[in-house]
Structure 1
Amino acid sequence: MTENLSAVLYLISSICFIMALKGLSSPDSARQGNMFGIAGMVIAILTTIAMPEVMSYGTILAGIVIGGSVGAFIARKIEMTALPQLVAAFHSLVGLAACFVAAAAFFRPEAYGIGTPGNIAVGSLVEMAVGLAIGAVTFTGSIIAFGKLQGILSGAPVTFSGQHPLNAALGLLMVALVVWLCIDQSPAAFWAVF
Structure 2
Amino acid sequence: MLGQGFVSAAAIAASILFILSLGGLSNQEKAKRAVWYGIVGMAIAVLFTAFGPGIGSYWIMIPMVLIGSVIGWNIAKRVAMTEMPQLVAALHSFVGLAAVFVAWSADLERTRVASALLAGEATDRFSAFAALLVTKTPAELTFLQVEIVFAIFIGAVTFTGSVIAYGKLAGKVDGKSRQLPGGHMLNAAAAVLSLVMAIAYLNGAGFWSLLVLAALAFFIGYHLIMGIGGADMPVVVSMLNSYSGWAAAAIGFTLSNDLLIVTGALVGSSGAILSYIMCKAMNRNFVSVILGGFGGGAKGESAEIEGEQVAIDAGGVAAALNDAESVIIVPGYGMAVAQAQNSVRELTRKLRDAGKNVRFAIHPVAGRLPGHMNVLLAEAKVPYDIVMEMDEINDDFPNTDVVIVIGSNDIVNPAAQEDPNSPIAGMPVLEVWNAKQVFVSKRGQGTGYSGIENPLFFKENTRMFYGDAKSSIDSLVPLID
RMSD (Å) for aligned C-alpha atoms: 2.9
Instruction: Specify the code of the residue in structure 1 equivalent to 2:206.
Output: S
Selected match of 2:161 from 141, 146, 152: 141
User: Cα offset for 1:106?
Assistant: 1.1
Alpha-carbon distance in structure 1 between the residues aligned to 2:24 and 2:186: 36
1:189 and 2:209 aligned: yes
1:123 and 2:140 aligned: no
Selected match of 1:155 from 175, 190, 197: 175
> Which one scores higher on RCO, CA 8 angstroms, separation ≥ 6?
1
Mind listing any 5+ residue stretches in structure 2 that lack a counterpart? 114-126, 215-481
Rg larger for: 2
User: Cα offset for 1:70?
Assistant: 0.8
Call closer, same or farther: CA 1:7–1:30 in 2, change over 3 Å.
same
Call closer, same or farther: CA 1:28–1:12 in 2, change over 3 Å.
same
Alpha-carbon distance in structure 1 between the residues aligned to 2:77 and 2:49: 29
Give CA-to-partner distance per residue, 1:40-81, whole Å, 9 cap, x none: 322322222332322233433222221111111111111111
User: Cα offset for 1:166?
Assistant: 3.8
Per the alignment, residue 54 of structure 2 pairs with 53
Instruction: Specify the code of the residue in structure 2 equivalent to 1:59.
Output: I
Give CA-to-partner distance per residue, 1:122-163, whole Å, 9 cap, x none: 111111111111111111011101111111111112257854
The structure carrying a bigger strand percent of its residues is: 2
Call closer, same or farther: CA 1:177–1:14 in 2, change over 3 Å.
farther
Call closer, same or farther: CA 1:88–1:107 in 2, change over 3 Å.
same
Instruction: Specify the code of the residue in structure 2 equivalent to 1:174.
Output: S
Instruction: Specify the code of the residue in structure 1 equivalent to 2:152.
Output: L
User: Cα offset for 1:17?
Assistant: 4.2
- Using structure 1 for the length normalisation, give the TM-score: 0.81
- Using structure 2 for the length normalisation, give the TM-score: 0.36
State the aligned residue count.
191
Per the alignment, residue 75 of structure 1 pairs with 76
The structure carrying a bigger helix percent of its residues is: 1
Alpha-carbon distance in structure 2 between the residues aligned to 1:26 and 1:150: 28
Per the alignment, residue 91 of structure 1 pairs with 92
Alpha-carbon distance in structure 2 between the residues aligned to 1:82 and 1:16: 27
Mind listing any 5+ residue stretches in structure 1 that lack a counterpart? none
Per the alignment, residue 108 of structure 1 pairs with 109
Instruction: Specify the code of the residue in structure 1 equivalent to 2:133.
Output: I
Alpha-carbon distance in structure 1 between the residues aligned to 2:18 and 2:108: 28
Contact 1:114 1:124 in 2 (8 A): no
Greater shift, 165-174 or 181-190, is seen at 165-174
Could you say what secondary structure the match of 1:130 adopts? helix
Alpha-carbon distance in structure 2 between the residues aligned to 1:168 and 1:28: 44
Identity, in percent, stands at: 37
Contact 1:178 1:193 in 2 (8 A): yes
Call closer, same or farther: CA 1:72–1:12 in 2, change over 3 Å.
same
Alpha-carbon distance in structure 1 between the residues aligned to 2:134 and 2:200: 18
Call closer, same or farther: CA 1:19–1:100 in 2, change over 3 Å.
farther
Alpha-carbon distance in structure 1 between the residues aligned to 2:210 and 2:178: 29
